[in-house]
Structure 1
Amino acid sequence: MRIVDAAAIDRVLDRNGLVEALRAAFRDEVTVPVRHHHAIPRPDAGDAMLLLMPAWQSRAGEGGFGHLGVKLVSVFPGNAGKGVATVQGSYLLMSGETGAPVALLDGPRLTLWRTAAASALAADYLARPDARRLLMIGAGALAAHLIAAHAAIRPLEEVAVWNRTPERAAELAARLDRPGLCVRAVADLPAALGAADIVSSATLSAVPLVTGAHLSPGAHVDLVGGFTPAMREADDAAVRRARVYVDTRAGASAEAGDIVQPLASGALAAIEGDLFDLCRGTAPGRRSAEEITLFKSVGTAIEDLAAAVHVIGRLGAL
């Protein structure tokens, strides 16, 4: 069994190649059981959580299909005081023919790459082909990956970064600014929303930051951060103005506050489609240059499996 660390994942992956691997996975036959949540009582440190996210490819074919895998993630709230990351994880990839372990991959790094690739995949169907200005809301670990992924599939020239802590936005912008891609921190969020062709948000906010009143016609909104029904990154006005898509209907309808709350209130009448629909051509993507589109991602084990298979394929281990 091969051990694949974060550095190896960074070395072999490229944004466009991973987007295409995810596109193929959503077109193929993949089984994704409901993920398992197991609470671990820890009276003195806050309860921990163990998450198991399995998936398997139903048949062999192009792209190394015919594998199975499971992501194992632990969440230990008390780790912050110990200087250890709260979320830990690994991805175990196995042979679909024998069940034998093939590789153990760094879970957090794989998740960053596949999450950003899923957003880029959705934007390939939903963002205007000439989109040149991106607004990145949030400056956490995922932000740099989202900027790189969107820049790989659209001709971006300008990136504005907004964060509740301005210093973090400035640090990220300084790190990513380069010839051909101007990256700058901004303080005026409403103005930045109005100037953006693509708005990508990766925060843990419970209060909407993407306000529909400030979105320009033709904008594409990419919501990545919220992963519980109580979390919200876009307001009802943004949802009402947009045609709404998700990564998976089952996941987003149960876990995403940006979908659960508008469905309950009536602000969202229906989900237009998910990544299965977009990749298989059973739901239309962007229909005009003026419409606003919105994509909400909560993550799915399909993406982890496709990314792990792609990594091992690039390493020449299959």
Structure 2
Amino acid sequence: MHEGRDVRIFGADDVWSHLTYEACIAAMRDAMVAFSEGRTPSVPRTFLDLAGGNMFGAMVGSLGEGDMFGAKLINLFPGNVRHGKPSHLGLVALFDPADGSLSSLIDAAALTAIRTASASAAATDALARPDARTLAVLGYGEQAETHIRAILTVRPIERVRAWGRDPERCARFSDRIAACGVSCTPVVDIAGAVAGADIVCTTTAAVEPILYGRWIVPGTHINVVGFAGSDAAEIDADLVLRARYIADSRASVFAEAGEFRSLLRNGVITDAHIVAEIGDVYSGRATGRICDDDITLYRSLGHIVQDLAAARALVDLASGTALRSVRL
């Protein structure tokens, strides 16, 4: 008779309590180096289109031979943001590489929020100028807040400017950011928010460009993070052309980054416009920023190895902590 095994359950509160940005940023660096070196087997993620522009996705992968493997089942409901709910909902399942048994189930909304921001912060640390002090964030949802918190760990940010479509919500968001220990000013137009900013993060559900290259000054670093779709684009063609474009995954950019795909399809750019994957920048095999005047762009599409690395960091940090478990 099968004896069963205890499976640890990490709810959203458990993830927020135990997974620190510092630990997750380090995990993102290591994971993306391994990914770019071809040491993390995975399969392309798949999405099922649902009513109302929503999607259900599945991501499957491994952190390497003899290391943990798992899957992420994720629902993308962009409209949730309007109701104060996470746009990403689901779970991450981790399996024991020794015998294949299920070891942990983790709330995907909280894990995704922290790991996405941590991946951007790791990229910011590698690509932004060391003297960066001003951060502009487009959006006022959960990812906007986690990006501010994560980037504060890698740069001495003195000023944050926030933009969102609803000025009242943006003002409330800015007040909440005061808890991060940095001043945040709500700005009514995007051009004003990004004017002269050292770092810009786009964290919106926009499917057409809201950020234009003509607004970006030399030396800026940009994290493009928002809604991903093969024909969607938060940024315009000019910004893609002006920037040193660095991917989390080349394959993901070719499949899902609308702003890149349209230029590639029309022959304006070639595959070579991707300077490197971020893992190659971390390892020193490629150069991200060459000079202070470069505009650097990190294209965040998300990858299962990031989820698994964040999950492993969470499990390690929570080791010895009494958490809920079920016998399966």
TM over 0.5: yes
Residue aligning to 1:36? 46
Distance (whole Å) between structure 2 residues aligned to residue 195 and residue 79 of structure 1: 31
Residue aligning to 2:4? none
Partner deviation per Cα, 1:231-253 (whole Å, 9 max, x = no partner): 11111121121110111000111
Paired residues for 1:88-99 under 5 Å: 88-99=89-100
Residue aligning to 2:208? 207
Deviation of the 1:83 alpha carbon? 11
Work out which structure has the larger RCO, using CA pairs closer than 8 Å and 6 or more positions apart in sequence.
Answer: 2
Amino acid at match of 1:244: Y
Residue aligning to 1:189? 190
Contact 1:70–1:93 (Cα < 8 Å) also in 2: yes
Residue aligning to 1:18? 24
Paired residues for 1:108-187 under 5 Å: 108-178=109-179, 180-187=181-188
Deviation of the 1:283 alpha carbon? 1.1
Residue aligning to 2:325? none
Contact 1:137–1:201 (Cα < 8 Å) also in 2: yes
Structure 1 position 300 matched with structure 2 position 321:
no
Partner deviation per Cα, 1:136-195 (whole Å, 9 max, x = no partner): 001112110011111111111100000111112111110012585111101132132222
Secondary structure of the 1:272 match is strand
Taking structure 1 as the reference length, the TM-score comes to 0.89
Distance (whole Å) between structure 1 residues aligned to residue 285 and residue 149 of structure 2: 28
Distance (whole Å) between structure 2 residues aligned to residue 121 and residue 185 of structure 1: 25
Residue aligning to 1:63? none
Residue aligning to 2:326? none
Amino acid at match of 2:60: P
Residue aligning to 1:277? 280
Residue 210 to residue 84, structure 1, CA distance change in 2 (3 Å): closer
Structure 1 position 316 matched with structure 2 position 326:
no
Contact 1:137–1:161 (Cα < 8 Å) also in 2: yes
Amino acid at match of 2:318: L
Contact 1:133–1:159 (Cα < 8 Å) also in 2: yes
Distance (whole Å) between structure 2 residues aligned to residue 95 and residue 217 of structure 1: 47
Secondary structure of the 2:137 match is strand
Residue 9 to residue 161, structure 1, CA distance change in 2 (3 Å): same
Taking structure 2 as the reference length, the TM-score comes to 0.87
Residue aligning to 2:68? 67
Distance (whole Å) between structure 1 residues aligned to residue 316 and residue 191 of structure 2: 43
Secondary structure of the 2:210 match is coil
Distance (whole Å) between structure 2 residues aligned to residue 79 and residue 200 of structure 1: 20
Residue 70 to residue 219, structure 1, CA distance change in 2 (3 Å): same
Residue 4 to residue 227, structure 1, CA distance change in 2 (3 Å): same
Partner deviation per Cα, 1:187-232 (whole Å, 9 max, x = no partner): 1321322220001001121221221111111001110003102211
Residue aligning to 1:254? 255
Amino acid at match of 2:275: E
Worse-superposed segment, 164-173 or 272-281: 272-281
Partner deviation per Cα, 1:59-79 (whole Å, 9 max, x = no partner): 35xxxxx10110012457999
Secondary structure of the 1:112 match is helix
Residue 76 to residue 277, structure 1, CA distance change in 2 (3 Å): closer
Amino acid at match of 1:127: A
Secondary structure of the 1:34 match is strand
Residue aligning to 2:10? 4
Distance (whole Å) between structure 1 residues aligned to residue 110 and residue 235 of structure 2: 26
Residue aligning to 2:3? none
Distance (whole Å) between structure 1 residues aligned to residue 32 and residue 77 of structure 2: 32
Amino acid at match of 1:37: F
Please list every run of 5 or more consecutive structure 2 residues that lacks an aligned counterpart in the other structure: 1-6, 322-328
Secondary structure of the 2:223 match is strand
Distance (whole Å) between structure 1 residues aligned to residue 54 and residue 190 of structure 2: 35
Deviation of the 1:39 alpha carbon? 5.6
Secondary structure of the 1:177 match is helix
Distance (whole Å) between structure 2 residues aligned to residue 225 and residue 250 of structure 1: 18
Amino acid at match of 1:126: L
Worse-superposed segment, 196-205 or 23-32: 23-32
Match of 2:58 among 52, 57, 61: 52
Contact 2:129–2:219 (Cα < 8 Å) also in 1: yes
Amino acid at match of 1:122: A
Secondary structure of the 1:26 match is helix
Paired residues for 1:218-257 under 5 Å: 218-257=219-258
